[in-house]
Structure 1
């Protein structure tokens, strides 16, 4: 039985409240039928006498007893405060993010017109020295979109693998999204590191991610590989890595970032000192090996995507998020906290107050 936010474990105890009107009726009957005599020398004077406050308030004593009875009945009904607790069991997805951090990921070519105009007004030399230019680079946009992708997941383990001329694990599969996001933010430092190199080891990057998924027992295992170049430094070829992914039951989504054609912003030394921005056509050597990326995705049951701006990237990761949904089964339980103790205390206090008043202020003389 529930009344408001309270749940009563023994609601049948409320039947005892039927005794209350019976006790009230009995009290009224006894008071009306009670007869007493007293010798008084002048009856006319006694009739004029007004009842004192003590007489008027004499009914407080039995009222306290009835209130105490009501409090004890409520306590007997065992009021409880219910709190719903949800437990979830999930068929999770293990996701490894394989991110290209080679030097070319610092290229600025995915700007909107507004961003292009904003960047051109800045001093190129100061812009580069401050490191702010990474925010507008391919890697900067990838960091932003991947961060949003991670924050949309709730019950999946996610890890991060980075690759340039060589591949390495930045973060193993984890549910600690906060730490993962901090590690992701620091990947631009890798792209600035000359030891990473300007080459691209796509096959090794994929193999590194697969190594983290090899012992996974998740229902679905996924690699999302993002790059802006061609494989030119791998020990394991992309084709061989795709075969390994297929044998492990890992689905690979591949994403190529960067303009197919258009202009890239580059700094140019100014005659008056400092540097300004100039637009140059996208170099041919910066083209993406779409065939290799399509082959990887096709062999593993994934998909290949091409992103030429941030909006494309957002759409791609949103689609992958929808394709790789986690199945969550929610089971609700009710937990109850006992709330009858205050009612017992109130009843006890009322009984004590009744005894005190009955034997002091409202004591009756036979």
Structure 2
């Protein structure tokens, strides 16, 4: 809860003080209830009316001060995973798949670049995950790495960012995206944390220098290498040997194998996930209507008493 104009709250004490000592005799502007016979009903109505004045002034001043009721946080549970995709955007990803069988389907696939096929496979992978509790992040890399989107449950935003990517970078350096992806997953509280590398080649990783394998083993992060080509430096195979069962390599040479690789990830990665979600804030609109309703009831009540008193006069 917050207040936009705190200085208006300074008007609250004098307003309540004036209400407490007020004894007006006019019957046209909030008339006094003194002339009403001192019956139990009269005293009760007087108390309720005075409380109504108090609540009315309190509401009007708080609304004028711009009171805001913010939403809280709540823990939610479901099945899913936190998944960071490391997407290779080097120019070689524009090349089509090779070593395809001589079929009509293969001829159509030759016209599909590795990059486009990878983006389509990631989208179909998300469509298979029907629970809706996954969080996705995207890091694009080439000679450098760019965190396109941190972990988010907004799947439409992720897909928009994914399809907006293009092959515009040169070379393939792995330590930049690896460091960025591990840093994001180290802050995750999910039991299932996944780093999925989609690349058609390899590059400098320098695991001995940066200790990526130790971080993966320490935090239980699973690493999937969806290989669309060959790692000439042989650093990723050595990295997979270091992390043992936490690593998995999938060599793909065509679109069906690519989709089958993501289906395997989908089958293996489905565990309980705990995440926080923000409750929506409370609008001040209902309180405005409540104040107006209270003002109307107070005015009608006084009008009724004034009418009854005048009707009883000779």
Q: Normalised by the shorter chain, which TM-score bucket? A: 0.5 to 0.7
Distance 2:209 2:201 in 1: 13
Distance 1:244 1:322 in 2: 25
Distance 1:178 1:217 in 2: 23
SS in 2 for 1:200: coil
- In structure 1, the residue matched to 2:263 is 318
- In structure 1, the residue matched to 2:104 is 114
SS in 2 for 1:254: strand
- In structure 2, the residue matched to 1:100 is 88
CA contact (8 A) 2:86 2:177 kept: yes
Distance 2:83 2:119 in 1: 16
CA-based RMSD:
2.8
- In structure 1, the residue matched to 2:191 is 219
Change (3 A) 1:318 1:155: same
- In structure 1, the residue matched to 2:151 is 173
| 2:77 equivalent among 79, 85, 89 | 89
- In structure 2, the residue matched to 1:155 is 133
User: Is the aligned partner of 1:231 residue 2:203?
Assistant: yes
Superimposed CA distance per residue, residues 238-272 of structure 1 (whole angstroms, 9 cap, x where no aligned partner): 973233322332111112104xxxxxxxxxxxxxx
| 2:242 equivalent among 299, 316, 338 | 299
- In structure 1, the residue matched to 2:181 is 209
- In structure 2, the residue matched to 1:142 is 118
Q: Where does structure 1 lack aligned partners over 5 or more consecutive residues?
A: 1-86, 121-132, 259-286, 330-366
CA contact (8 A) 2:192 2:273 kept: no
Deviates more, 1:106-115 or 1:217-226: 106-115
Q: Where does structure 2 lack aligned partners over 5 or more consecutive residues?
A: 1-74, 275-314
- In structure 1, the residue matched to 2:224 is 253
TM-score between both structures, scaled by the size of structure 1 = 0.48
SS in 1 for 2:133: coil
- In structure 2, the residue matched to 1:243 is 214
Shift of 1:108: 1.4
Number of matched pairs: 194
Shift of 1:308: 0.5
Distance 1:163 1:156 in 2: 23
CA contact (8 A) 2:82 2:151 kept: yes
- In structure 1, the residue matched to 2:231 is 288
CA contact (8 A) 1:96 1:209 kept: yes
Superimposed CA distance per residue, residues 152-175 of structure 1 (whole angstroms, 9 cap, x where no aligned partner): 222111111111001121111011
Change (3 A) 1:139 1:181: same
Distance 1:180 1:304 in 2: 24
- In structure 2, the residue matched to 1:350 is none
Deviates more, 1:247-256 or 1:178-187: 247-256
CA contact (8 A) 2:149 2:161 kept: yes
CA contact (8 A) 1:104 1:228 kept: yes
User: Is the aligned partner of 1:187 residue 2:160?
Assistant: no
Shift of 1:328: 7.7
